[in-house]
A and B are shown apart, each in its own frame.
Chain A
């Protein structure tokens, strides 16, 4: 029994380190993350893939913060209903955040987890950093 437990434990990877991809403020306070490839990931993931992920995230955040007709209508509606509309309706930003969460989940499942990495939704960190957890590559498999 104990052995089974320990085997199970061994199967679960241990966290080796974390990389934090910081915000890119060169265009102002809009939510945008740096595309720079962190050194720690050099041997873990393809640079292109990483950049693509971050770029997609940036695009999604840009969509969330876009000042368009949609956000304007939402604001007007909210005003007219004395903001009670927020009780029933989800804001545009929240909708895009859900989309982002789904995207990150998908990326994790398809690309990052097999490489021993895990992306954390930046909203959990106040949209300040994208946290990438690097798991220990123990090919010990002491079964």
Chain B
């Protein structure tokens, strides 16, 4: 069947064979039995009299409705809901161990988090979710329906919805006509026909209430452009749904959209094109030539860079990643909007950002498997970070913040715990991340500062838990982190996403030495009260935007490096600063376009490498070099004790005691 049958993903490669569980088939068998059985009995016992007594169009009508119901039921049951095939290994190499658990993208002006799926090995697109029953990521996941024993997703939601509508209609028909029959046979209730009709009436009456309820629920969902998952996890509670196009368009999209293609079970055509050297090369533009010249001074040649960056490296440390690399799922770094997503505030709020940091380290290569583990483990991290239950973060994760923290995929346990807290903070910060529809730069700036602020707030509440759910959560994780100083350090090291800010934030977690004044004043900044969804409404963002102290620039790493509390000025190259601080990072390669991407990248890789480079004396090699924002190392690597001041975006200054 061209539509793509996929029973339990049996036809699809992505679902490995699962043990046969007969209990899964009980509800669907019961539903089928009731539907077919009751309808057949009705058609056989009740309809003949109805045809005689009234008109033969009644049974015909009932047959049509029944067949329509059955057809939709079959489609909902057997159709592939939109299962994503598992990502292949080479795609995964881009998101290395230190890649963040979450990546943030802006969807129609609203920040949306994409979570890394450790089973399927990719960042789940917006509205995608992993079904634990089917063990697949499903596009536009609605829910897993036991009555059809299938996930309801993008491809079969229409059939499921029509099934509900037609089933409600069918039940009403059956009940109504059966009642009509009974009312005309009150004196012949002992007959078989009457008995059967009464039984059918009971069954239909019984099922009418839940089915009608579910139908009404889905009518509302369709009108609002939400999925069951989004509704149930409260993603848009108090927030704005970026996926809605208005009631009519939503309905049109469900009912009139073209049938989406299946991704599984497609014939993969082998490339018939032969690629053989020698290859042509496009003429280099002047700018490119210039960049190359500059690059050569700082890093390896462009070509080797490219190769190293694109590939997952085995032995040699890849050179500092170019900003474009770290991009998956995020807008360009070059654009203003990137800064929004890629910049991480220098305050502890960075933790919050970490999960939302989008660029997963493309190549970080190297390193350890810890990040990979942590990435997967982060899923289990949530229990450690309770709170946030109110916050439906993206998808099924109950706590945004914990996930956020978990975003830092690197590190071991402690790191994970810490990152959990951080993540929580990040999440929180992420929420307050302003969504901009107009000036991306402003928004970027605002987001940074707002996150900064929120982070700050979170951190300030270190002692007592903050009222905000997320902050408390992050706090708890931070507390966990603090208990194991080395762990926190480790987590700091392994945090992949945000650049220096995040690492700074980590370092700050144990003591919180110098909360930036600007932040503290801004701490009262619009709390995301009652906002549990990961989507920020424009208003909230606007609010934070206004409160934002200084416009942020896309060189957070630079600001970070600056060991003073002077306002972030984009300033001076990182390398000298880094060196002065005792760490070797080469700083962002001049050829690199900055920021966001490299930042996040740097954060991750750099952190991981921290332990390897002692005291910052060793030049960063490997992936750490890639992280141009090597300055992360600076704070964490500070060889001697004391407090190192780090300035982050927005003028926040942190004193990091090492």
Q: Which residues of A contact B (CB under 8 A)?
A: 11-13, 16-20, 22-29, 34, 36-40, 42-46, 49, 64-67, 70-72, 74-75, 78-79, 82-83, 86-87, 90-94, 97, 101, 105, 108-109, 112-118, 120-121, 123-129, 131, 133-139, 141
Instruction: Give the complex CA separation of A74 and B271 in angstroms.
Output: 32
Selected contact of A82 from candidates B68, B158, B252, B281, CB within 8 Å: B68
Selected contact of B275 from candidates A18, A26, A71, A116, CB within 8 Å: A116
Top 8 A-B pairs, shortest CB-CB distance: A17-B310, A116-B279, A71-B258, A39-B322, A39-B324, A82-B71, A36-B332, A126-B263
What residues on A are CB-neighbors of B107 within 8 Å? Answer: 25-29
Instruction: Give the complex CA separation of A127 and B398 in angstroms.
Output: 28
Q: Say yes or no for B247: interface residue by CB 8 A criterion.
A: no
Instruction: Please choose the segment from B231-239, B300-308, B538-546, B556-564 that sits at the chain A interface, where 4 or more of its residues have CB less than 8 A away.
Output: B300-308
Q: Say yes or no for B438: interface residue by CB 8 A criterion.
A: no
15 residue pairs of the A-B complex, CB under 8 angstroms, read A13-B275, A20-B91, A20-B328, A25-B106, A39-B306, A40-B310, A67-B253, A82-B67, A90-B2, A91-B258, A115-B279, A116-B275, A117-B275, A128-B87, A134-B306
Q: Say yes or no for B272: interface residue by CB 8 A criterion.
A: yes
Q: Say yes or no for B127: interface residue by CB 8 A criterion.
A: yes
Selected contact of A65 from candidates B1, B108, B258, B330, CB within 8 Å: B258
Selected contact of A75 from candidates B2, B255, B330, CB within 8 Å: B255
CB <8 Å contact, B322 and A125: no
- Rounded to whole Å, the gap between the CB of B617 and the closest CB of chain A is 30
What residues on A are CB-neighbors of B87 within 8 Å? Answer: 125, 128
CB <8 Å contact, A115 and B282: yes
Within 8 A of A (CB), among B1-30: 1-3
Within 8 A of A (CB), among B210-257: 242-243, 245, 249, 252-253, 255-257
Residue of A nearest to B127 (CB): A29
SS of A interface (majority):
mixed
Q: Say yes or no for B205: interface residue by CB 8 A criterion.
A: no
Q: Say yes or no for B193: interface residue by CB 8 A criterion.
A: no
Q: Assuming the A-B contacts A13-B275, A39-B324, A82-B71, are A123 and B310 also in contact, with contact meaning beta carbons closer than 8 angstroms in the complex?
A: no
Q: Assuming the A-B contacts A40-B309, A67-B253, are A18 and B272 also in contact, with contact meaning beta carbons closer than 8 angstroms in the complex?
A: no
Q: Assuming the A-B contacts A44-B281, A105-B272, are A87 and B1 also in contact, with contact meaning beta carbons closer than 8 angstroms in the complex?
A: yes
Q: Which of B85, B94, B271 neighbours the largest number of chain A CB atoms within 10 Å of its CB?
A: B271
Q: Assuming the A-B contacts A19-B310, A43-B288, A126-B84, are A34 and B331 also in contact, with contact meaning beta carbons closer than 8 angstroms in the complex?
A: yes
Instruction: Give the complex CA separation of A86 and B309 in angstroms.
Output: 45
Residue of B nearest to A97 (CB): B261
- Rounded to whole Å, the gap between the CB of B74 and the closest CB of chain A is 8
Q: Assuming the A-B contacts A22-B329, A137-B277, are A94 and B310 also in contact, with contact meaning beta carbons closer than 8 angstroms in the complex?
A: no
What residues on A are CB-neighbors of B1 within 8 Å? Answer: 86-87
CB <8 Å contact, B282 and A43: yes
What residues on B are CB-neighbors of A39 within 8 Å? Answer: 306, 309, 322-325
Known: A36-B324, A91-B259. 6 other contacts (CB 8 A): A37-B324, A71-B256, A83-B74, A91-B2, A92-B258, A105-B273
Q: Assuming the A-B contacts A25-B112, A34-B332, are A118 and B271 also in contact, with contact meaning beta carbons closer than 8 angstroms in the complex?
A: yes
Selected contact of A113 from candidates B67, B75, B273, B324, CB within 8 Å: B273
CB <8 Å contact, B302 and A108: no
- Rounded to whole Å, the gap between the CB of B322 and the closest CB of chain A is 4
CB <8 Å contact, A26 and B331: yes
Instruction: Give the complex CA separation of A71 and B279 in angstroms.
Output: 43
Q: Say yes or no for B463: interface residue by CB 8 A criterion.
A: no
CB <8 Å contact, B306 and A17: yes
When each residue 92-130 of chain B gets 1 if its CB lies under 8 Å from chain A and 0 otherwise, what string results?
A: 001000000000011110001000000000100111000
What residues on A are CB-neighbors of B310 within 8 Å? Answer: 16-19, 40, 134
CB <8 Å contact, A108 and B271: yes
CB <8 Å contact, B306 and A40: yes
Instruction: Give the complex CA separation of A86 and B80 in angstroms.
Output: 14
Instruction: Give the complex CA separation of A116 and B284 in angstroms.
Output: 16
Instruction: Give the complex CA separation of A4 and B257 in angstroms.
Output: 55
Q: Say yes or no for B187: interface residue by CB 8 A criterion.
A: no
Q: Say yes or no for B268: interface residue by CB 8 A criterion.
A: yes
Instruction: Give the complex CA separation of A79 and B75 in angstroms.
Output: 11
What residues on B are CB-neighbors of A11 within 8 Å? Answer: 276-277
Q: Say yes or no for B280: interface residue by CB 8 A criterion.
A: yes
Q: Say yes or no for B169: interface residue by CB 8 A criterion.
A: no
CB <8 Å contact, A25 and B125: yes
CB <8 Å contact, B309 and A23: no
CB <8 Å contact, A83 and B127: no
Instruction: Give the complex CA separation of A141 and B278 in angstroms.
Output: 8
Instruction: Give the complex CA separation of A128 and B491 in angstroms.
Output: 30
What residues on B are CB-neighbors of A46 within 8 Å? Answer: 282
CB <8 Å contact, B91 and A113: no
Q: Say yes or no for B53: interface residue by CB 8 A criterion.
A: no
What residues on B are CB-neighbors of A113 within 8 Å? Answer: 273-275
Residue of B nearest to A92 (CB): B258
Q: Which of B249, B258, B284, B330 neighbours the largest number of chain A CB atoms within 10 Å of its CB?
A: B258
CB <8 Å contact, A126 and B85: yes
CB <8 Å contact, A128 and B324: no
When each residue 265-295 of chain B gets 1 if its CB lies under 8 Å from chain A and 0 otherwise, what string results?
A: 0101101111111111110100010000000
CB <8 Å contact, A17 and B85: no
Q: Assuming the A-B contacts A39-B324, A75-B255, are A135 and B306 also in contact, with contact meaning beta carbons closer than 8 angstroms in the complex?
A: no
Residue of B nearest to A65 (CB): B258
Residue of A nearest to B260 (CB): A93
What residues on A are CB-neighbors of B68 within 8 Å? Answer: 79, 82
CB <8 Å contact, B2 and A67: no
- Rounded to whole Å, the gap between the CB of A121 and the closest CB of chain B is 8
CB <8 Å contact, B274 and A83: no
- Rounded to whole Å, the gap between the CB of B250 and the closest CB of chain A is 11
Residue of B nearest to A106 (CB): B273
